[in-house]
Structure 1
């Protein structure tokens, strides 16, 4: 999967929603999905960043992208229900959903975690993903095959000191993926999680400010696992935790 080579236009005809699509992994994935023929829905909180990605997709002369400005920290359940209705009306179905957006919070001792930090991290990394997935399930079920990708972390598989709310949220994310995979095992839906690993992103830099980022993989270098799970090559793969590196 790490060496997967996507065939040109392998995502043609697919509609894929990517959260956190304005920068980092989400941005690169959006561009690659568009280049492979997908209609990409860019979800994020910063409109200017989404517009910049939209403009880059326009230059590819492929399918036109769509922008959905959503702040995962503040959106209500009704907001997600309306969002799902809009996608169903405009596209008829959803073939891929990538939960890429995450919030790191503040790293430090467990005893010093502020409730406000806990609430923000859990809202973005867990509750928003629950509400978005739940609202989109009926639209995903309209696709012949649909793939949902959650983003996990090495600290979501084995707890690590001082990673607090972020680490716990990723454990819960993996649990949510496994529950969904088990419930929909005999359907056209598949649910998996990807651990991107140490990647050259703003979140990584905030967690490791003294690190030499030039030694890290770029977002482009970790794309094969994502593209594999979004393509029909991964039909039948569900309930798995994949390492992109």
Structure 2
């Protein structure tokens, strides 16, 4: 059993960006990071959801977060360059980046994957992560220590029939993490993956509509992994994949 008991406010004065921060695991991670002292940059496509997370952080006494409304499906390298410039101007650095946002689209046989689904999944799950990471790496290099976390999946580690473009995109995510970890070995950036496992989220409900989700862990139940990997000063993991559930 993994146990991690972070010190109160261990993320004080840290700046952390979370993608897909309006819902599910991303929302819970943003709230958790703020609860431990971080200033969180909330990135997502639905402003109303981001504003709700913003309000909750303020209500809980956290540092005022920043909201970045951005639809990764249509974002271009210029959008990410502009975001990097804004973060540098406002905060001068970035202490953590959690790649949480991804999409599923239709599941089914490989031969039935449409070009539309393929392009959509690769754009959000792979290309956006590539562009955002490339734009923000200079800011992640500024602190003495920082954390870069990718989100993988069980089907991105061992392929499973009918998981289509989503599974392939998660293999790419795993490869991106491993490549970056090797390139930035012995640097101040800790680079890892989290496999959250079956968690009570809207994406899980779409993949398993008949499942009794009351039997699943909630995002809050697995937050110790997300907190640990964001603790760049004490985390010993680098280039690894942590499995939040057996």
The TM tier, using the shorter chain, reads over 0.9
Aligned to 1:204: 204
Q: Deviations over 1:20-62 (max 9, x none)?
A: 0000000011111101000000000000000000000011222
Is the contact between residue 11 and residue 33 of structure 1 (CA under 8 Å) also seen in structure 2?
yes
How large is the Cα RMSD of the aligned pairs? 1.0
TM-superposed deviation, 1:236: 4.0
TM-superposed deviation, 1:233: 5.1
Question: d(CA) in 1 for partners of 2:35 and 2:195?
Answer: 23
Q: Deviations over 1:49-99 (max 9, x none)?
A: 000000000112221100000100101101100100100110011000000
Question: d(CA) in 2 for partners of 1:186 and 1:85?
Answer: 26
- Unmatched 5+ stretches in structure 2: none
Q: Aligned residues, how many?
A: 245
Question: Are residues 235 and 138 of structure 1, via their aligned partners in 2, closer, same or farther at CA, if it must alter by over 3 Å?
Answer: same
Aligned to 2:239: 239
Aligned to 1:109: 109
Aligned to 2:126: 126
Give the TM-score, by structure 1 length: 0.98
Aligned to 1:136: 136
Give the TM-score, by structure 2 length: 0.98
Question: d(CA) in 2 for partners of 1:4 and 1:215?
Answer: 23
Question: Are residues 125 and 135 of structure 1, via their aligned partners in 2, closer, same or farther at CA, if it must alter by over 3 Å?
Answer: same
Matched, 1:36 2:36: yes
Question: d(CA) in 2 for partners of 1:148 and 1:181?
Answer: 9
Flag as ranges the 4+ runs of structure 1 deviating above 3 A.
232-236
TM-superposed deviation, 1:4: 1.1
Is the contact between residue 84 and residue 136 of structure 2 (CA under 8 Å) also seen in structure 1?
yes
- Unmatched 5+ stretches in structure 1: none
